[in-house]
Each structure stands twice: as C-alpha cells, then as structure tokens.
Structure 1
Amino acid sequence: MDIADIATREYVDVDGNERIAKVRSIFERERPRGVIVLEDGEYAGVLSERQFVQSHVEDRAKAAKLARNAPKVERTADVRETARVLVESGSRVAPVFEADRLWGIVTDDAILGAVLENLEAIDVSDVYTESVTTVSEETTLGKAINLLRDRGISRLPVVEDGVLTGIVTTHDIVDLVVRNMDKSTVGERAGDVDRMLDLPVYDVMSSPVETITVDESVRTAVDRMLANDYGGLVVTPERDDSLVAGVVTKTDVLRALTFTEEEHMDVQITNVNLLDTFSRDSVREGIEAVADKYQDMQVQHAHVRLHQHKERLRGTPLIQCQIRLRTNKGQMAGSGEGYGAKTAFNVACDKLQRNVLQAKGITSDEEYRGQLLRKLGEL
C-alpha cells in the first residue's frame, strides 16, 4: 500500500508570519493533527499542539519561529517506512510531496486506520510502555507542563493513594490556555497565566479514565483511540482497572508496525536529527554490548528517544536520552543526560546496563531458589 492511498489533500495551513495566538485558536476550533506552515506559498514546517506546551514562545511571536521541519514523504512511499518517519521525527503528521511540490499530508490516524485489521494478532502487552510518569491531583499545572516538556510526553495519569483517578493531557492544557486567553485583554494575560500555572491538575483532568487491559488486542485499543480521538490509553492489569500498569499510545502502535526481522536488532531513534555525528550503528553497537551482559536475553526491539534542553555548555546542548528494550525477558529501560547525544547515550547505556544486570541477578536468584526447592522435594 502506498501513502497516496491514505494521504489527503485537505489540510490546515497558515502563513509563517501569522501570530502564534491565531494558531492556538485554529487548534481549538478545528483540532487538526498538525498545521502546515507556508512561507511565500512553499512548505516551511509543521506545528503541533505539543510544541505550544513545550515552548516558551509568546503569542505575538510568528508561526515560523515555532515550526518544525517534519520529514517529507513521497506519494509512492511505503506505509511501514512512513510510520518509521513519524515515530523518529516525533510527529503526528508528515507532508506528502510529488515532484518536489507539497501534495498533501498523511497522519498517524490514517496509517492506523489502514492497518487496523492486521492489529488483531498482537496484544497490548506486546507494544505498551511500562515506565510511565504520574502526578497527584494536587500537582500544579506549572509542574505538569514542566514534566510534559522535560520528558517529551503528552499525557500524565493522575494517581491518588495508588489508585488511578484521572488523566491530564497536552490538549487539556492547551484548551484551558486558549479559553482563558480569549477572555482576557492584553494587560490581564500575564496574571492569568500565573494563576493558571498554580491550578491543581484536578481542575482540568479527565475523569473517569479510558483504560485497556494488557491482554486485550491492539486493534481494540486503536479502535477506541480512533473513535474517541484519544492519543493514548492508560493500561491496567487484567483484574484491576484502578491500577496503572503503563500507557499505550498511537506512537507505540506505529513503532510496532516498523519492527523488522533483520540480522541486527531493529533500533528506532526518536528525534534522530539530534544524533549529530553519532551514528545509528554506534547506537546499535552500544545496546548490543549491554544485551550481551545477559546472554539469555534476546532484544526484539530497541527504542532510543533523544530530547534537547535549552541549556548549553560551550555551544553543546544538554540532551536527555531514554533507552527502552523490548526483550524475551520483558521491558528493560535506562535514561540519562549529558552534553551532546553521544554523552547522553553513554550515560543512559550505563543505567540500562545496571538495570539489565539487576534483572539477571534476580533471575539467577529465582532459578537457584527453584533448584533448591526441587532438591528439597526429592529428599
């Protein structure tokens, strides 16, 4: 299936000189996956809701300042490869080109809808993310925004006394900001922003929360996300929907579509442009070296996520690196920060190695205990 079969020529665009305030109102009014930014009628980039939360750009700034140059895909591109492009760029929409001209766009929803029938064969447990950031009902919106920005995520489950009570998303916060900004005059806005940042997430969270259990099919999860326009669902254990086991998002499912059976492990890198001179092969070799510490562990897929902070040291940006392995022994993860992608990756690899060796030690203890019990039973 080519992208031309599911791409659309209907999309929302703005001129790069438009103010951010207008783009905010477009997201509130039309709820697009992304807004295409044009300069002199030519494609210049894409704007997403998440960018508003993660940036400090003021409403009077121009759209071009915040636009991100999402990777282009050709009309004849393969669906699987396009899924990889969306995952690695951290985008929900990609511009589709024909003969070097913008032809249309393709969204994550379009890809997931096209492959829906194929998703019946895999369970949520095969694709979801176990490690999840949560907040309490009293967490302020200011802190929630910082968590969303610093960790490059779009949703935060709200947990009180170990029980899931709600969820707050990027869209919830953008919606609140837009509604309040529309009611305020210019002089009042600074104070309004401060007051909003001090609000508890309880005031904006969605409750009850749409959940799905680890044993349900990915098709069921995607059906639910598409029907309700959710970006993700909270994953719960099979017998208790009040506990948080993880989160499954559209990006998790897109990532699963790109899994390969290659000789080397499949490695996906979100925000791959931050690698700079550090290569994908170097990333793969580093992860393979960690996996070799635990010979019984087979890595089925590796995901590396890079996130750039504003802080710099002699011109080199501070990078956060998160590594997640999906293995026959369960999920393994490690994260770290450093100046430059290579340093951040090495710190994350060290943490990953400690977690892998810890898991190996726990497994060894369990095996020894099992052997001992068997011997005692034979006496």
Structure 2
Amino acid sequence: MDIADIATPDFIEVDVNERLGKVRSIFERENPKGIIVVDDGEYAGVIGEKQLINSHVEDNTKASALTKAVPKIDRNEDVREVARMLVEGDTKVAPVYEGKEQYGVVTQNDILEAVLENLDALTVEQIYTEDVVTIGERDRLGQAINQLREHGISRLPVTNGDGRLAGVLTTYDLVEFMVRDEGRQGKQDRRGDTDRMLDLPVYDLMTSPALTATPEESVRDAVSRMLENDIAGLVVTPKDDDGEVLGVLTKTDVLRALTFTEEEQMDVQVTNIGLLETLGRADIVSAITEVANKYQRMNVHHAHVRFHEHKEKLRGTPLIQCQIRLRTSHGQLAGSGEGYGSEHAFHVALDKLERNVLEVKGFEADERYRGQLLRKLNEL
C-alpha cells in the first residue's frame, strides 16, 4: 500500500507571518493534527499542537517562530516508510507531493485507519510504553506543563492520593483552555491571569475518567477506541481495573510497530533525528548492539532513540535529553540521560540502559508478535 491510497487533499494552511494567536484559535476551533506553513506560497514546514503548548511564545509572534521542518512525502511512498518518517520527525502530519505540486497531507490517523484490520496480530502488551510519567491531581498546571516540556510528551496520566488513575491531562486540554481563557479575558496584559492559570490544580482541567486499555487486548481494538474518541493515546491498566497505571499506548507506539523489519541488522528508529551532530544512525546501532551482545540470551527486536532539546545551553551547545527504549526477548528496557550535545546525552542514556539491563531477570522470550505483524503488513 502506498500513500496515494490514503493521503487527503484537505488541509489547513497559514502563512509564516500569521500570528500565533490565530494559529492557536485554529487548533481550538478545527482540532487539526497539524497546520501546514507556507512562505510566499512555498512549503516551509508544519506547526503541531505539541509545539504550541511546549513554548512560551507570545500570541503576537509570527508563525515562523514555531514552524518545524517536516520532510515532503512522495505520493507513491510506501506506507511503512511514511510511518517511520512521521515518528522520526515527531509529527502527526506531513505534506504529500506529486512532483512539485502539493497533493495534500497524510496524518497518523490516515495510516492507522488504513492498516486497522491488520493490527489484530498485536496485543497492547507487546508495544505499549512502560516508563510513563504521571502527575498528581492536586499538582498545579504549571508543574504539568513543565513535565510535558521536559519529557517532550503530549499526555500525563493523573493519579489520586493513593497513586491510582484519576484521569488524564493532554496538551490539547491545555491549548483549548488557554485559547478559551484568552477569549474571555480579552487582549489586554494578562500576565497576572496567566500566573493564576498555572496555579490551578490539575484536577480542574483533567479528563475523567480516562479511557484505558488492558495489556491483553488487541492493538486493533485499542486503536479503534482512539479513533472513535479522537484521542491520541490510552492509559494501560490491569485487566482487573484496580487503577494501577502500567503505562500508555499512543498512536505513535503503533506507528513505530509498523516500521519493524525482518532485516538481520537491528531495527532502529530515531525521533528528532535533526538534533544529531557528530553521531550518525550507524554509530547508534553499533553502540546499542555492543550493549546487547554482552548478554547472549537477549535479542533486541527494535530500538527507539528519542532526542529532546532544552533551552539551556553551555557555550552555545544545547542541553539534550536522550531516551533509549529497547523491545527485546526479555521485555522492554529503557535508559535516559541528559548532556550538552546529542552525543553526550546518548552515552549517558546508554550507560543507564546497560545498568537497567543488568537488573532484568525472569522475563520469558516472546518473538511471535514480530512475525505475525510483518506477515500482516506484507499483505498490504
């Protein structure tokens, strides 16, 4: 299956000189997965919902300030390669071109709807993210926003005083709230109002109850629930529904699974690959393989390396957070760390990963999901 079968000609476009206040209003009114930005009619990039909430940029700032470079996709590109491009570009939408002309856009939802019937080969347990960040319902919105920015994520499971699931807070909730509040307060100086917003408890804004998935259910059923409710992820809880937060399953997790290959070389995915400087993909593969090879009984099916840039800098070099997550025959393993520059951050995260590998005991190998999913995808 190629993108020509699922791309849509309907999309929202703004000029690089448009005010971010209007862009925020478009997100609140239209709820797009992303907005295409053009400069004098030429494609310039994309603005996503997560970029809006993860910035302190004022409403009068031009859209160009938050425009993110996302690769153009050929209309005849393979669906699995496009899934990889969306994940590595950390975007929910990308422009689709036919020659030099923009045909339309493709979104996460377009791809997931196209492959939905084939996702019954997977269970939630096989692909969900375990190392999840949570926040308490009595914590402040300012703390929640800091968590979202620090970890580069778009949703936070919210827990009550007993540590049980109480709801979920997403970037969409925050964007909607801030746009609505702006309309109510007007355009005057609102710095005091903003400070009071940040002091509100998470409880006031979270969605409750949170939609959930269990580890045993099929990814097909879980994705269907996301699409039906127009949400980007589900909180994973035990089958007995006692409120324990096991992790989250997002549409990005599912897209990542679509990119698994049967190549002998480890399948590696790098999100925000543009932050790499001295490192290359081959260096990352080699380093992770070296760690895995120290433990002969552990097979690495897939590796995901995610880089996130902070505003702090040291002599011009930005502080980078790196997260490494492996899906192995011994379960999911992860390590994270920070450093100035992508190479430093990667090696800090790699050291943490190796320490975590040493602690793993008693996991049973289960390689069936890999072959099942690949067989299904090869039918597309």
TM-score, normalised via structure 2 length: 0.94
Secondary structure at 1:321's aligned position in 2? strand
Deviation, 1:9, is 0.9
Give the Cα–Cα distance (whole angstroms) in 1 for the partners of residues 277 and 4 of structure 2: 32
Q: Match for residue 35 of structure 1?
A: 35
Give, as a single letter, the amino acid of the residue that structure 2 aligns with 1:309.
Answer: H
Q: Match for residue 377 of structure 2?
A: none
Give the gaps of 5 or more residues in structure 2.
364-380
Q: Match for residue 250 of structure 1?
A: 251
Q: Match for residue 183 of structure 2?
A: 182
Give the Cα–Cα distance (whole angstroms) in 2 for the partners of residues 185 and 106 of structure 1: 35
Q: Match for residue 146 of structure 1?
A: 146
Secondary structure at 1:208's aligned position in 2? coil
Deviation, 1:185, is 2.6
Give the Cα–Cα distance (whole angstroms) in 2 for the partners of residues 188 and 299 of structure 1: 54
Q: Match for residue 376 of structure 1?
A: none
Give the Cα–Cα distance (whole angstroms) in 2 for the partners of residues 140 and 188 of structure 1: 22
Secondary structure at 1:115's aligned position in 2? helix
Give, as a single letter, the amino acid of the residue that structure 2 aligns with 1:200.
Answer: P
Secondary structure at 1:14's aligned position in 2? strand
Q: Match for residue 218 of structure 1?
A: 219
Give the Cα–Cα distance (whole angstroms) in 2 for the partners of residues 280 and 135 of structure 1: 34
Give the Cα–Cα distance (whole angstroms) in 2 for the partners of residues 230 and 252 of structure 1: 14
Deviation, 1:331, is 0.6
Give, as a single letter, the amino acid of the residue that structure 2 aligns with 1:143.
Answer: Q
Secondary structure at 1:11's aligned position in 2? coil
Give the Cα–Cα distance (whole angstroms) in 2 for the partners of residues 246 and 27 of structure 1: 27
Moved more, 286-295 or 56-65: 286-295
Mapped contact 1:124–1:214 kept (Cα < 8 A):
yes
TM-score, normalised via structure 1 length: 0.94
Deviation, 1:100, is 2.3
Give, as a single letter, the amino acid of the residue that structure 1 aligns with 2:15.
Answer: D
Give the Cα–Cα distance (whole angstroms) in 1 for the partners of residues 241 and 330 of structure 2: 23
Does residue 101 of structure 2 align to residue 132 of structure 1?
no
Give the Cα–Cα distance (whole angstroms) in 2 for the partners of residues 293 and 193 of structure 1: 52
Does residue 260 of structure 2 align to residue 259 of structure 1?
yes
Q: Match for residue 51 of structure 2?
A: 51
Mapped contact 1:211–1:241 kept (Cα < 8 A):
no
Q: Match for residue 318 of structure 2?
A: 317
Deviation, 1:363, is 4.5
Give the Cα–Cα distance (whole angstroms) in 2 for the partners of residues 71 and 201 of structure 1: 36
Cα deviation code 1:252-273 (max 9, x no counterpart)? 0000000011111100000011
Give the Cα–Cα distance (whole angstroms) in 2 for the partners of residues 315 and 195 of structure 1: 34
Q: How many residues align?
A: 362
Q: Match for residue 378 of structure 2?
A: none
Give the gaps of 5 or more residues in structure 1.
365-379
Q: Match for residue 329 of structure 1?
A: 330
Q: Match for residue 230 of structure 1?
A: 231
Give the Cα–Cα distance (whole angstroms) in 1 for the partners of residues 215 and 117 of structure 2: 19
Identity %: 61
Deviation, 1:217, is 0.1
Give, as a single letter, the amino acid of the residue that structure 1 aligns with 2:93.
Answer: V
Deviation, 1:186, is 2.8
Mapped contact 1:213–1:241 kept (Cα < 8 A):
no
Secondary structure at 1:128's aligned position in 2? coil
Give the Cα–Cα distance (whole angstroms) in 2 for the partners of residues 220 and 363 of structure 1: 29
Give the Cα–Cα distance (whole angstroms) in 2 for the partners of residues 210 and 363 of structure 1: 31
Q: Match for residue 195 of structure 2?
A: 194
If asked which structure has higher relative contact order (CA below 8 Å, sep 6+), I would say: 2
Q: Over alpha carbons, which structure has the higher Rg?
A: 1
Give, as a single letter, the amino acid of the residue that structure 1 aligns with 2:153.
Answer: I
Q: CA separation of 1:91/1:314 partners in 2, compared to 1, >3 Å: closer, same or farther?
A: same
Q: Match for residue 353 of structure 2?
A: 352
Give, as a single letter, the amino acid of the residue that structure 2 aligns with 1:335.
Answer: S
Give the Cα–Cα distance (whole angstroms) in 2 for the partners of residues 336 and 107 of structure 1: 30
Give the Cα–Cα distance (whole angstroms) in 2 for the partners of residues 276 and 339 of structure 1: 11
Q: Match for residue 100 of structure 1?
A: 100
Give, as a single letter, the amino acid of the residue that structure 2 aligns with 1:64.
Answer: S
Q: Match for residue 82 of structure 2?
A: 82
Cα deviation code 1:294-346 (max 9, x no counterpart)? 21111111000000111111221111000000011111000001111111000
Deviation, 1:145, is 0.5
Give the Cα–Cα distance (whole angstroms) in 2 for the partners of residues 125 and 249 of structure 1: 12
Give, as a single letter, the amino acid of the residue that structure 1 aligns with 2:315.
Answer: R
Give the Cα–Cα distance (whole angstroms) in 1 for the partners of residues 111 and 100 of structure 2: 22
Give the Cα–Cα distance (whole angstroms) in 2 for the partners of residues 239 and 329 of structure 1: 24
Mapped contact 1:9–1:105 kept (Cα < 8 A):
yes
Moved more, 272-281 or 74-83: 272-281
Secondary structure at 1:304's aligned position in 2? strand
Give the Cα–Cα distance (whole angstroms) in 2 for the partners of residues 274 and 94 of structure 1: 19
1:360-375 superposed matches below 5 A: 362-363=361-362
Give, as a single letter, the amino acid of the residue that structure 2 aligns with 1:167.
Answer: V
Give, as a single letter, the amino acid of the residue that structure 1 aligns with 2:106.
Answer: V
Deviation, 1:101, is 2.5
Q: Match for residue 308 of structure 2?
A: 307
Give the Cα–Cα distance (whole angstroms) in 2 for the partners of residues 251 and 105 of structure 1: 17
Deviation, 1:67, is 0.7
Deviation, 1:2, is 1.3
Give the Cα–Cα distance (whole angstroms) in 1 for the partners of residues 355 and 65 of structure 2: 41
Give, as a single letter, the amino acid of the residue that structure 1 aligns with 2:139.
Answer: T
Give, as a single letter, the amino acid of the residue that structure 2 aligns with 1:212.
Answer: A
Give the Cα–Cα distance (whole angstroms) in 1 for the partners of residues 65 and 242 of structure 2: 43
Q: Match for residue 367 of structure 2?
A: none
Q: Match for residue 205 of structure 2?
A: 204
